[in-house]
Structure 1
Amino acid sequence: MFFLGKKPPAVPPAMNAQARGRAGEDQALAYLQAQGLQLIARNYRTPGRGGGEIDLILQEADGTVVFVEVRSRSHAGFGGAGGSIGHAKRQRIMLAAQHWLLQRGVQAACRFDVVLIDAQRQQWLRAAFDAT
């Protein structure tokens, strides 16, 4: 578990959920890029109904493809940001990652990370879950 050094900027309450989510993704992307990861894709969606979405797809310097789920919450109630990533959500992310890899013929090491943004802190969880 990694805590960032500074408090995330407050998200104005007038923002809708989609705008807050986008702001959280922007914040997470800026941090991950500062750590040396390179952006490959953003908001990748699988075709069809009920498909999955991956917030950020990045690549480490060693070639590892990193699929990142970003979760933002204005308060830590109900399990906070991390409490909203259940089994079904992880399954949809893994299926979307599989689809992305197959569509591009990519055969590289992969990892599933999560960036959690709560009202008072931000956490980067490397290898938060795996495909097994």
Structure 2
Amino acid sequence: MAEHNDLGRLGEDKAAEYLQAKGYKIVERNWYFHHKEVDIIAFDGDTVVFVEVRTRTSSDVLHPRDSVMPLKMRYLILAADNYVRYKKLDNRIRFDLIACISHRDGRWDIEHIEDAFTAQAE
């Protein structure tokens, strides 16, 4: 597996731990609809939260929160719509972003952006 894939998996693990510590109930990880993936699907109370996790090293120029492009947002929205229909859910939904930054000394910075974008994003 490529090094960036390992880093991404580690970031997703850190994000899942972070959400669980905040009381979220994780129900899916790496959920696919065709080629569209949702990193984490969780419940924050009664709200279904679709979480995009972006991971970078501290030496990367682009901050992970700045790496989510409109096409990725649209794919997340399509996947979320399919998930809600498939599970027959009638809950409020939200799209969050978790930006994870790995430091050489083993520290991690985690930034959780609730309502990072809406289903109207284009």
2:41 to 50, 57, 66: 57
Say what the alpha-carbon RMSD is for the aligned residues.
1.6
- Once the two structures are TM-superposed, the CA of residue 83 in structure 1 deviates from its matched residue by 2.0
| Percent of paired sites with the same residue | 32
Alpha-carbon distance in 1 for matches of 2:83, 2:111 = 26
In the TM superposition, what are the counterparts of 1:49-88 in structure 2 within 5 Å?
51-61=35-45, 63-74=46-57, 75-77=59-61, 79-88=62-71
- Retained in 2: the 8 A contact 1:33–1:39? yes
Residue 113 of structure 1 is matched in structure 2 by 96
- Once the two structures are TM-superposed, the CA of residue 76 in structure 1 deviates from its matched residue by 3.9
Deviations 1:7-42 (A, max 9, x none): xxxxxxxx7111111110000000100100001100
Structure 1 pair 84/118, CA: closer, same or farther in 2 (3 Å)?
same
Residue 123 of structure 1 is matched in structure 2 by 111
Gaps of 5+ in 2: 104-108
Greater displacement, 67-76 / 113-122: 113-122
2:17 to 24, 30, 36: 30
Output the amino acid matched with 1:57.
I
- Retained in 2: the 8 A contact 1:76–1:118? no
Alpha-carbon distance in 2 for matches of 1:44, 1:25 = 13
Deviations 1:92-117 (A, max 9, x none): 01100001111111110000000001
- TM-score under structure 1 normalisation? 0.81
Output the amino acid matched with 1:27.
K
Gaps of 5+ in 1: 1-14
Deviations 1:67-89 (A, max 9, x none): 00000011340x32122101001
Q: Which has the higher strand share?
A: 2
Alpha-carbon distance in 1 for matches of 2:65, 2:44 = 23
Q: Give structure 1 regions of 4+ aligned residues with deviation exceeding 4 angstroms.
A: none
Residue 6 of structure 1 is matched in structure 2 by none
- TM-score under structure 2 normalisation? 0.87
Between Structure 1 and Structure 2, how many residues are aligned? Answer: 114
- Retained in 2: the 8 A contact 1:56–1:69? yes
Alpha-carbon distance in 2 for matches of 1:105, 1:57 = 15
Alpha-carbon distance in 1 for matches of 2:23, 2:115 = 17
